[in-house]
Amino acid sequence: MAELTLVGASCSPPAPDSIQTAALDSDAWIEFLGVFLEGFPDLHLEVQDSSADEQMVAQRILFTGTHTGPFRGLPPTGRRVRFSGLEINRMVDGKVAEHWFQLDSVTLFEQLGLRVVPGPRLLPRLMASVVTGLLAKRRRTEPS
């Protein structure tokens, strides 16, 4: 298994819940990545784009690998995966001070054979959108 070391990072970003729900310190970040390495021992990360200034570094990353180990309670499937992620780091004195990360978990889960089902907060909004669309279509087709 690959060894991972994160030096000088204290990750307590004020990120919105849509990006991450809890702050990750260095140990939590290493544990997060360790889960991926356990499930995908051949995990390969390719930085596709990168942009930086004096304080921030942003990267678009492509992840590829084979699910040959346990991953979040899912036994190995032997399936190949390919999904993307976005990483933003705020830098202080050349070290990561804050870290934000977002990955395309829907694509990852679907490639592992899982289906994503809308939760109870999203389902009413999805249904309202469908009903609103049907009513608008009906109004357009009714004779005046």
Residue 2: the pLDDT is: 43
CATH class of 26-117: alpha beta
CA dist list (Å): 141 to 120, 125, 132: 33, 25, 14
Rounded Cα–Cα distance for residues 138 and 144 (Å): 12
Tens digits of pLDDT across the chain (144 residues): 444 433 333 333 444 444 444 545 566 677 878 889 999 999 999 999 999 998 889 999 999 999 999 998 899 999 999 999 998 888 888 887 778 788 899 899 999 998 877 677 766 767 777 777 777 777 887 776
State whether the Cα torsion 47-51-53-55 is positive or negative. negative
Residue 90: the pLDDT is: 82
Q: Quick check: 76 and 70 in contact, CB under 8 A?
A: yes
Contact residues for 103 (Cβ-Cβ < 8 A; gap 6+):
63, 83, 84, 85, 86
Report the residue count for the chain: 144
Q: Quick check: 62 and 81 in contact, CB under 8 A?
A: no
Q: Which amino acid is at 100?
A: W
**What are the domain boundaries of the chain?**
26-117
86: which DSSP letter?
A: E
Radius of gyration of the chain (CA): 20
